[in-house]
Amino acid sequence: MVTKMFNKLSVRKKIALGYACVFLCILLIIGTSYLSIRQLRQVTKKYEHNRLILATQADLMAHLKLVEAGQRAFLITGKNEYLNQYNDSRNAIKQEALALADLTGVDPYHQKMINNIQQLIIGKFEVLAEAIRDSLTRGNKAANTIMNSDLGWHLMDEIRSELEHMELIAVSMHSSLAEKKERLLIKTEFTIGAGIFSTFSILALIGYISVRDIAKPLKKFSIIANNICSGHYDNNYVVSDRTDEIGQLANSFNAMSASLEASRLKRDEAVIQAEAANHAKSEFLANMSHEIRTPMNGILGLLKLLEHTEMTRDQLDYTGKIESASRLLLSLINNILDVSKIEAGELALESQDFEFDLVMADLSDLLSANLSSADIELVYDFDPKMPAVLVGDSMRLKQVLLNLAGNAIKFTKHGEVVLSTRVIGQDGQSVQIEFAVTDTGSGIAPDQLPHIFSSFRQAESSTSRCFGGSGLGLTICKELIDLMGGRLQVVSELGKGSRFFFTLPLQVAPIIERKATLPSMRVLVVDDNATTRGKLQVMIRSVGLECDCASSGKQALQILQQADSNVYQLLLIDYHMPDIDGPEAIRQFQHLFIDRHDAPALIMLIAQQNGEFESRADAIECDAYLSKPITAGMLYDAIVKATSPSVTQSHSLLKTTERLRGLHVLVVEDNLLNQKVARELLEKNGARVTMASNGVEGKMRALAADVPFDVILMDMQMPGIDGIEATRQIRTHARMHSVPIIALTANAMSSDHEACIAVGMVDHISKPVELEELVSTIERHATACQLIAKDTENVHVSSSTTPEINTEQAINALGGGRGLYVTLLQIFQSDSLAQLKDFKLALLNGENKAAKLHLHSLKGMAATMGAITLEQNVAEVETALKHPSNTAVTRKEVLQRYSFLEACLIQTLEQLEILFPPPVGLS
């Protein structure tokens, strides 16, 4: 009952009750102790008083004896000293009798006794005094009589008996007081002991109750709180009938747990929904990218085709602008896709061996194409200790460096953009490489630096207006570098430039092949930029050649003029120089060596591939071009090219445009635009193309072919059965197992790539299709025997004397009009040779544009007449003329090709004459 009531009390009340008990106990102890001590003090006082009475009585008695003894001694001896003793003792007795009367106080019994004693003492004193007086007056005899009389003895006995009686009383009182005092002492001790014990007991009880009612529940609450922290919300603390604070707290905890559990359930549901939404977003992005990339593919492909048609200057300008806008749009889509892939954790890095130099050479092409100002010098500054072959994701590394260097170019008006590497540690096959892109551009304000890697952030809002861009590039770079195990950092000073850098741990792969050593020669580098000069000199010396430098065309001319004989076998000349520029310097060098046979080979260094260079390129007779920034491999290849006989170069030119010759490719693609682009690109590279416009047709064509196709390009998303299903069905046939099927996909997600591989495809080409990627991917998967066949055919075609003409197709293309064909043939016969001759003349006069126009017309004529070989050969030379730095063809080579074209044209005309003999009378 009491426990029940106690339990019902609040914790506060319980504690207050506990403290009240303790307080009462202490009060009790103090009270009782106080009373006992007071009593003890009184008893002790009485006891002391009594002891004083006893002592006074004893003194009194002693002095009485002294009085008597003094009197007697005086009477006997008559000496005064005894009389003095007598007097002193008598005085003392008087004092003690008074004191005794004082001590005994108002007690009548004692007063009576004291009075009695005083009377007796007075009597005794009189007897003694009388004896002394008699002794003094009547002599010793009379005194002795008095002294020996009974009165003196009698008085003394009475005094003694009175005093003894008093003493008896005092002694009995003394012992009773002592007993009382002892009892009181014991009682006090007990009271204090018991009080302390009960206080401690109550305190212990309070402690026990606190532990039971507070500490234990608190511990339980702490466990529940920990559970909640670790995400377990399903807790219920049962506190049966407690209504106190702990009970309330338990109820609150239970309510909180229940509410958290409910929120967790809601959150889980929300997470599932968010994941689903994110997945849907990723899918939407992938689909959108497909949807956007498909028309983009068409646009870019058609632009490529458009480039090959005759256009006015304005049209050419518009086409160029459309192309660059389309490419910008494509890069934006790619960026958004990359970000969404990173967000979805979809972005997986590849780990493959790659030649660092080749990757950097690719990057150099891209960077120099990006460069729009002649005032920026692009420089590669690679650590000589850089391993040649590394393991990693070269594509992503290139993407990061391209973005950083692209930004550096974008935000630099004058000065340098240096891409550098530094080997900062090597341990066996592992190497730590620091990559850095340093520019002398606008720099970034300190307050913008902390946010520079956040998505959609640009250093200042005006940036997007001035330079465009989405603010995604650095975010992607940072994420990619994080994935690769590095950390992208930046230091920048406003107005002075920026340095973006990161260190990557990479693996070193064994070197596959070593480049042959170059024949010994002395090289002169002519460049106004000191950094480039220095780097080139180091690179040239590292391949074992001697190298000198000149900082201008003028200085180079002086050096060459001063030498008795030509000491240089190779000149590297920068295109952009302040006083005498590259082309002018070359013209003057050639003049210098006009009558000599030891003219050095020439390599032109170009910083950007822009219109100005292209228009002058034909007029410059160079053995090779090198576009900046330059890698050691690029330099090596250019030196080999510039110093080798030109026959080899001509052969290689032929190879680049005939790379797919002999291959029969089936393209399964539903989109008409894409069909046209794929056919054109493949046929331009010599492949034979069969089209299928959906999955079912693709499957039927693949299975129906007598000789299986060499390669099948399969679109992924098609109406009816899609690419995956079509491939799966094709692969079920044994004879189709070895045919390489390559996916054409606009879906860049790795899951799509995995799906392609899982169903038996060997690779994928992403849309919009890039010519180089298309050709190199097909080449990679064409079997050795197909390649041999292709090479043999190459040789056959290039040395063939019977050009291929398909008149039937041409007549059909003209709407079946044979008459029209014959009329056109007559024009062709009269015009084609003239066009070719005009082309040669224009070329010799350095009129590149006119030369291109003549070639273009010739190609159009050949195509109309169905003269396939002629058309292809003309197209090849035309391409070489259009992109001198890409295919690296010199004017000398083009002239060689002219002879080849002339022979081909004459044979074509002869053949046509046989097929369509001129009417009699017209010959």
- The SS3 assignment for 314 reads helix
Q: Name the 3-class secondary structure at 61.
A: helix
Closest by Cα among 914, 916, 832 to 874? 832
Nearest distance in Å: CB 703, ligand ADP: 48
Residue nearer to ligand ADP on the CB measure, 377 or 715 = 377
Strand partners, 432: 425, 505
**Which of the stretches 361-369, 463-471, 520-528, 872-880 binds ligand ADP when contact is defined by CB under 6 A?**
463-471
- Confirm if 646 and 893 have CB atoms less than 8 A apart: yes
Contact between residue 52 and residue 59 where contact means Cβ atoms under 8 Å apart: no
Q: Applying CB under 6 A, which part among 295-303, 310-318, 462-470, 885-893 lies near ligand ADP?
A: 462-470
From candidates 56, 399, 442, 879, binder to ligand ADP by CB under 6 A: 442
Asked if 473 touches ligand ADP (CB under 6 A), the answer is yes
**103/408 with CB nearer ligand ADP:** 408
Which residue reads 């009531």 in tokens?
Answer: 5
Give whichever of 439 and 878 is closer to ligand ADP, judged by the CB atom.
Answer: 439
Tell me how far, at minimum, the Cβ of 441 lies from ligand ADP, in Å: 5
Q: Are 702 and 712 in contact, with CB atoms under 8 Å apart?
A: yes
Distance separating alpha carbons of residues 684 and 888, to the nearest angstrom:
19
Among 100, 452, 526, 550, binds ligand ADP (CB under 6 A): 452
Q: How far apart are CA 66 and CA 68, in angstroms?
A: 5
Contacting residue, 68, 393, 439, 715, with ligand ADP by CB under 6 A: 439
Q: Which among 63-71, 390-398, 467-475, 653-661 is the span making contact with ligand ADP, rule CB under 6 A? A: 467-475
Query: Which C-beta is closer to ligand ADP: that of 488 or that of 585?
Result: 488
Distance, CA of 448 to CA of 463 (rounded, Å): 12
**Which of 11, 43, 177, 459 is close enough to bind ligand ADP by CB under 6 A?**
459
Nearest distance in Å: CB 454, ligand ADP: 9
Q: Which of 411, 501, 575, 625 contacts ligand ADP by CB under 6 A?
A: 411
Query: If 0-12 CB within 10 Å is exposed, 13-18 middle and 19+ buried, where does residue 434 land?
Result: middle
Q: What is the C-alpha to C-alpha distance for residues 198 and 32, in angstroms, rounded to an integer?
A: 14
**What are the Cα distances from residue 346, in Å, to 281, 456, 595, 850?**
13, 20, 65, 52
The residues, ordered by sequence, that sit 6+ positions from 866 with a Cβ below 8 Å of its Cβ are 805, 806, 807, 808, 809, 810, 811, 813
Least separation in angstroms between CB 417 and ligand ADP = 8
Between residue 701 and residue 740, which ones bind ligand ADP under the rule CB under 6 A?
Answer: none
Nearer to ligand ADP, 52 or 449 (CB): 449
Is the distance from CB of 266 to CB of 233 less than 8 angstroms? no
User: Which of 140, 334 has the CB closer to ligand ADP?
Assistant: 334
Binding span for ligand ADP by CB under 6 A among 170-178, 253-261, 390-398, 455-463? 455-463
The candidate with the shortest Cα–Cα distance to 539, out of 636, 657, 399, 615, is 636
Q: Are 22 and 202 in contact (CB under 8 A)?
A: yes
Determine contact, residues 550/524, Cβ cutoff 8 Å.
Answer: yes
Question: Least distance in Å: CB of 869 to ligand ADP?
Answer: 47
Of residues 387 and 469, the one with the C-beta less far from ligand ADP: 469
d(CA 665, CA 688) in angstroms, rounded, equals 6
CB of 288 to ligand ADP, least distance (A): 20
- Of 330 and 743, which has the nearer Cβ to ligand ADP? 330
State the SS3 of 410-461. Answer: HCCCCEEEEEEEEEEEEECCEEEEEEEEEECCCCCCCCCHHHCCCCCCCCCH
* Residue 87 interacting with ligand ADP (CB under 6 A): no
> Which secondary-structure segment (H or E) carries 741?
strand 741-745
Of the candidate spans 1-9, 351-359, 389-397, 466-474, the one that interacts with ligand ADP by CB under 6 A turns out to be: 466-474
Give the single-character DSSP code of 734: G
Rule CB under 6 A: say whether 56 interacts with ligand ADP.
no
In a 10 Å sphere around its CB, with 0-12 CB exposed, 13-18 middle and 19+ buried, how is residue 92 labelled? middle
Q: What tokens does 673 get?
A: 């635009």
Work out which of 60, 166, 444, 606 binds ligand ADP, going by CB under 6 A: 444
How many C-beta neighbours within 10 Å does residue 572 have? 29
Q: Of 152, 217, 392, 441, which one interacts with ligand ADP (CB under 6 A)? A: 441
Nearest to ligand ADP of 198, 464 (CB atom): 464
Among 97, 166, 401, 408, binds ligand ADP (CB under 6 A): 408
Angle among Cα 387, 392, 393 to the nearest 5 degrees reads 130
Residue number, 412 or 631, with CB nearest to ligand ADP = 412
Residue 213 burial (CB < 10 Å; 0-12/13-18/19+)? Answer: buried
User: Which residues lie below 8 Å from residue 239, measured CB to CB, with a gap of 6+?
Assistant: 217, 246, 247, 250, 251
Q: Which of 340, 463, 671, 907 binds ligand ADP (CB under 6 A)?
A: 463
Q: Of 295, 471, 505, 708, which one interacts with ligand ADP (CB under 6 A)?
A: 471
User: Shortest distance, CB of residue 390 to ligand ADP, whole angstroms?
Assistant: 25
Of 294, 297, 368, 498, the residue at the interface with ligand ADP (CB under 6 A) is: 498
Q: Minimum CB separation from ligand ADP for residue 464, in Å?
A: 6
Q: Does the protein bind ligand ADP through residue 469 (CB under 6 A)?
A: yes
- 67 is written with which tokens? 């009085």
Q: What is the total residue count of the chain?
A: 923
Residues in 388-407 at the binding interface with ligand ADP, rule: CB under 6 A: 403, 407
Sole window of 214-222, 261-269, 435-443, 825-833 interacting with ligand ADP (rule: CB under 6 A): 435-443
- Name which of residues 187 to 246 contact ligand ADP (CB under 6 A): none
Contact between 337 and ligand ADP (CB under 6 A)?
no
Residue 486 CB, shortest distance to ligand ADP, in Å, is 17
Q: Considering the complex, what minimum distance in angstroms separates the CB of residue 452 from ligand ADP?
A: 5
Q: What radius of gyration do the chain's Cα atoms show?
A: 62
Count interface residues toward ligand ADP (CB under 6 A).
Answer: 21
Cis peptide before 768 (omega within 30 of 0): yes
474 contacts ligand ADP (rule: CB under 6 A): yes
For ligand ADP, the binding residues (CB under 6 A) are: 403, 407-408, 411, 439, 441-444, 452, 458-459, 463, 469-475, 498
